[in-house]
Amino acid sequence: MAEISFDDFMKVDIRVGEVIRAEAYPEARKPAIKIWIDFGAEIGEKKTSAQVTAHYTPETLIGKQVLAVVNFPPRQIGKFMSEVLVLGLPDDAGEIRLVGPDGPVPLGGRMH
């Protein structure tokens, strides 16, 4: 495992946002969901796609608070431009479960 400095870690801007819209992404090579996330007044709304169909449907994501890296450059995912990277962890089967706070927190809050 490569070590990084604390200063390197602080360059990664991880914020909490709330999923405000989600829809299936059937054009993706692997099953995915398009997700629009509200990060509050400072950052606003950003979009991404995520391969999370094993545990989530578009409907179950609405209102969910999630953590995402907000300072990566946009990345083209098929015909969809992804603006943030949502964070998740694999379960025993390798399927992703999203990471978020265990209770409501203000939108846009930065992870410390």
Residues (pLDDT < 50) of the chain are none
Is residue 93 in some structural domain?
yes
> Which pLDDT score is estimated for 106?
98
User: Global pTM?
Assistant: 0.94
**Looking at residue 62, which CATH number applies to its domain?**
2.40.50.140
Segments forming the whole domain that contains residue 59: 14-98
> Which pLDDT score is estimated for 92?
98
Is residue 94 in some structural domain?
yes
> Which pLDDT score is estimated for 1?
87
> Which pLDDT score is estimated for 63?
98
User: What's 26-60 look like in SS3?
Assistant: CCCCCCCEEEEEECCCCCCEEEEEECCCCCCCHHH
